[in-house]
């Protein structure tokens, strides 16, 4: 896996092209859909869309990921035929992509070198991707550190001296056009960061400022900071009639000033000129407005001349910043390579992985062993019997009462701690909320289908089973949820390996059994599945469908190896589910379902809870902020505990 960047910027294309490719909310959904469906060939993703650039950073296999990102940005179906991005795109990978990110964070790649806004925009972009659940170990580390380097450069050089920003340069430009701004009436459309920076620069020039914003409260807040006037949006025509300079910086996706609007305004100005400065992307002033007599329209690309003059004054500071970037970039890349690389020489004898001895456990362990061997490391399996394997005649509830939580892991964890093995394979749903001291989940393999399934002898679905069907399952979670779908169902306990369970069904001991889809698929038994329950019908167990590798946290060679097996999006979902399990205090026999799914709308989190006797039940779904996972889960659990 490699860091891949594809993008375009003010250096490669005009503002007209940049606005065509900006990441609007709708395009963000398209981008996320493409990623989640595999269309981007990316495991991690961060998008950066500002007035000066559209950059897509991804982690994936270089060739496939790069081609997919270029394809997404160049797709003519998303744009006018004349605005295809292919000729404007740049592509970088590995250390070169990291260097680009650092230059962006430090303001060296900005139109206004040293501008401060880009650091906030980069942070917002990163947290937007993290909230959506599409960042991972590499993007988290690189973006967090890049933001830190951006702060370090600004603190240790004079590159941002004087509050440098696009808005600052726009005000300089307005001063050259109009002359003494202390005699000017300035109208600001917008109340965001760029508008605030412009208000500061205009106030320093003693200009008379009026602020108009669609959300009046935000406009009033900005105006109050600079003792400016604030008008409601309905007064826009009136304000335009009296303004000398109009600076527009809004997040509108369509022009807020059109040619027709300005034509009406100009008829009331008695020939007085007006200077319009549009620093928005997409542009907020219709370009045709500049064709009107006495209307002088300038956009962000027209600022280049002042930018070039300012650049000459910063050459020494730019060189200092580049030196910092070179040093910090090398440190970051070396650390990443060290933390993620595997040296087979670190493993002088074959690794040993502990596992249960069931057919399913061995198939799942084979998956891990295959991935480890691809890293050039030899590995052997060690079968360990657990309490859940030994006491097959007891119910899960009885075993928990006798032996506590972690029926299928305690003995395997003990062997890890004692040094008999260095890795352990588990089905995540079998892990209790808390692991043994000194151990951690080192990697989450890519999730298999997490849903539950019904298996019948003749392929009948749940609704087609005879009255009072006998359904075998050892899970109260499944029992209580399926009872909602078939209230007449009669439930029987079910334990043992998959062969034992199928034999019970085939003998006629029951009409149906309920199993995990993932288990049947891994065993090659998917043809026996009669019906797959949606996650809304039967909320899966926390961690269902996920294979994890457990290891001793201090065993660094093993931890580095395990990171190579980790699947970023599975980790996010699994960690959310396990946080929920721990907060709820649940174990493998608790009637508790939790299923996290990353969608183009965010992390969808489904919950099922029941009291052990089934008398109290609750089902709900909500969206979780992945950037604040722990707090979001804590708040959700508090809400559930209030409801039940």
Q: What is the pLDDT of residues 429-447, one digit of tens each?
A: 888 777 889 999 999 999 9
Question: Which residues, listed in sequence order, are joined to residue 295 by a DSSP beta bridge?
Answer: 274
- Give SS3 for 258: coil
pLDDT at residue number 368: 97
Question: Which residues, listed in sequence order, are joined to residue 532 by a DSSP beta bridge?
Answer: 453
| Strand intervals (E) in 505-563 | 512-516, 531-532, 547-552
Q: Same structural domain for residues 15 and 47?
A: yes
Q: Same structural domain for residues 12 and 97?
A: yes
Say which of 13, 51, 230, 517 is annotated catalytic. Answer: 51
pLDDT at residue number 81: 40
- Respond yes or no: is residue 51 known to be catalytic: yes
pLDDT at residue number 80: 43
Q: Which residues of 235-259 are buried (b: 16+ CB within 10 A; e: fewer)?
A: ebeebbbebbbbbbbbeeeebbbeb
Torsion of CA 370, 373, 379, 380, to 10 degrees: 30
Torsion of CA 109, 115, 119, 122, to 10 degrees: -50
Spatial neighbors of 472 by CB under 8 A, at least 6 apart, are: 491, 492, 493, 494, 501, 504, 505, 509, 510, 512, 513, 514
Whole-angstrom distance, CA of residue 542 vs CA of residue 588:
9
pLDDT at residue 402 tops 70: no
pLDDT at residue 389 tops 80: no
Lowest mean pLDDT among 8-12, 386-390, 632-636: 386-390
pLDDT at residue 306 tops 80: no
Q: Same structural domain for residues 418 and 559?
A: yes
Q: Same structural domain for residues 390 and 332?
A: no
Whole-angstrom distance, CA of residue 81 vs CA of residue 159:
40
User: pLDDT band for position 150 (50/70/90)?
Assistant: very high
Structure tokens at 476: 């109260």
> Residue 406: exposed, middle, or buried by beta-carbon count in 10 A (0-12, 13-18, 19+)?
buried
Q: Same structural domain for residues 11 and 152?
A: yes
In this structure, the strands spanning 274-278 and 295-299 are parallel
Whole-angstrom distance, CA of residue 74 vs CA of residue 572:
30
412: domain CATH number? 3.40.190.10
Q: Same structural domain for residues 441 and 572?
A: yes
Q: Which residues of 191-214 are buried (b: 16+ CB within 10 A; e: fewer)?
A: bebbbbbbbbbbbebebbbbbbbb
> Residue 216: exposed, middle, or buried by beta-carbon count in 10 A (0-12, 13-18, 19+)?
middle
Q: Same structural domain for residues 441 and 361?
A: yes
**pTM of the model as a whole:** 0.80
- Residue 622 in any domain: the answer is yes
pLDDT at residue 393 tops 70: no
- Residue 539 in any domain: the answer is no
- The arithmetic mean of pLDDT across residues 243-265, rounded, is 92
Whole-angstrom distance, CA of residue 278 vs CA of residue 260:
17
pLDDT at residue number 84: 43
Q: Same structural domain for residues 246 and 356?
A: no
- Residue 538 in any domain: the answer is no
pLDDT at residue 249 tops 60: yes
Contact yes or no for 125/52 (Cβ under 8 A): no
**Domain carrying residue 241:** 166-310
Tell me how many helices (H) and strands (E) the chain has: 23, 23
Whole-angstrom distance, CA of residue 334 vs CA of residue 373:
24
**Higher pLDDT residue, 410 or 531?**
531
User: pLDDT band for position 49 (50/70/90)?
Assistant: very high
pLDDT at residue 307 tops 80: no
- Residue 537 in any domain: the answer is no
Task: Mark which of 500, 532, 564 sits at the end of a domain.
Answer: 532
Domain count along the chain: 4
Whole-angstrom distance, CA of residue 604 vs CA of residue 222:
36
Q: Same structural domain for residues 459 and 437?
A: no
Lowest mean pLDDT among 179-193, 379-393, 568-582, 588-602: 379-393
Sign of CA dihedral 173, 174, 177, 180: negative
User: pLDDT band for position 121 (50/70/90)?
Assistant: very high
């Amino acid at each position: 896996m490699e860091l891949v960047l594809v993008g375009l910027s003010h250096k490669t294309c005009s503002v007209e092209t940049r606005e065509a490719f900006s990441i609007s909310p709708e395009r963000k959904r398209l981008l996320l859909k493409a990623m989640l469906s595999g269309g981007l060939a990316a495991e991690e993703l961060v998008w950066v869309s500002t007035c000066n650039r559209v950059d897509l950073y991804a982690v994936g296999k270089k060739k496939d990921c790069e081609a997919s990102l270029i394809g997404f940005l160049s797709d003519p179906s998303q744009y006018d035929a004349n605005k295809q991005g292919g000729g404007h795109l740049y592509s970088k990978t590995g250390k070169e992509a990291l260097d680009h990110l650092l230059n962006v964070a430090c303001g060296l790649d900005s139109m206004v070198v040293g501008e401060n806004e880009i650091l906030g925009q980069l942070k917002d972009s990163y947290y937007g991707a993290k909230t959506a659940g599409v960042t991972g170990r590499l993007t988290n580390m690189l973006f967090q550190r890049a933001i830190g380097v951006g702060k370090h450069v600004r603190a240790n050089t004079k590159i941002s001296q004087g509050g440098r920003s696009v808005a600052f340069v726009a005000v300089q430009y307005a001063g050259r056009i109009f002359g003494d701004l202390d005699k000017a009436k300035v109208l600001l459309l917008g109340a965001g960061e760029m508008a605030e920076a412009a208000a500061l620069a205009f106030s320093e020039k003693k200009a008379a400022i009026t602020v108009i914003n669609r959300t009046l409260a935000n406009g009033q807040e900005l105006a109050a900071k600079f003792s400016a006037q604030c008008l409601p949006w309905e007064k826009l025509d009136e304000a335009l009639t009296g303004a000398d300079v109009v600076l527009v910086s809004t997040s509108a996706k369509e022009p807020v000033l059109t040619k027709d609007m300005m034509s009406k305004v100009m008829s009331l100005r008695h020939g007085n000129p007006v200077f319009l400065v549009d620093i928005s992307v997409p542009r907020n002033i219709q370009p045709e407005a500049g064709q009107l007599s006495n209307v002088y329209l300038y956009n962000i690309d027209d600022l280049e001349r002042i930018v070039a003059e300012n650049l000459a004054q910063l050459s020494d500071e730019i060189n200092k910043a580049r030196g910092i970037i070179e040093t910090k970039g090398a440190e970051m890349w070396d650390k990443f390579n060290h933390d993620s690389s595997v040296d087979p020489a670190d493993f002088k004898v074959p690794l040993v992985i502990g596992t249960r001895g069931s057919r399913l456990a061995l198939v799942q362990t084979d998956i891990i062993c295959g991935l480890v061997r691809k890293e050039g490391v030899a590995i052997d399996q060690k079968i360990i019997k657990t309490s859940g394997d030994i006491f097959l005649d007891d119910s899960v509830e009885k075993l928990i009462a006798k032996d506590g939580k972690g029926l299928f892991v305690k003995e395997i964890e003990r062997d890890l701690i004692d040094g008999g093995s260095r890795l352990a394979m588990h089905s995540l749903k079998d892990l209790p909320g808390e692991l043994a001291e000194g151990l951690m989940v080192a990697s989450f393999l890519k999730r298999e289908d997490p849903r539950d399934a019904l298996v019948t002898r003749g392929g009948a679905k749940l609704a087609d089973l005879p009255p009072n069907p006998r359904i075998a399952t050892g899970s109260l979670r499944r029992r209580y949820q399926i009872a909602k779908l078939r209230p007449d169902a009669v439930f029987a306990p079910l334990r043992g390996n998959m062969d034992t369970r199928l034999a019970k069904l085939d003998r006629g001991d029951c009409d149906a059994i309920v199993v995990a889809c993932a288990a049947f698929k891994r065993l090659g038994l998917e043809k026996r599945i009669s019906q797959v329950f949606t996650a809304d019908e039967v909320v899966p167990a926390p961690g269902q469908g996920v294979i994890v590798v457990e290891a001793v946290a201090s065993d660094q060679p093993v931890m580095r190896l395990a990171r190579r097996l980790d699947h970023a999006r599975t980790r996010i979902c699994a960690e959310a589910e396990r946080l929920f399990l721990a907060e709820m205090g649940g174990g493998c026999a608790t009637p508790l379902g939790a299923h996290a799914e990353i969608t183009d709308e965010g992390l969808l989190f489904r919950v099922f809870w029941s009291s052990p006797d089934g008398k109290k039940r609750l089902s709900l779904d909500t969206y979780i902020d992945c950037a604040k996972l722990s707090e979001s889960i804590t708040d959700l659990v508090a809400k559930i505990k209030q409801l039940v």
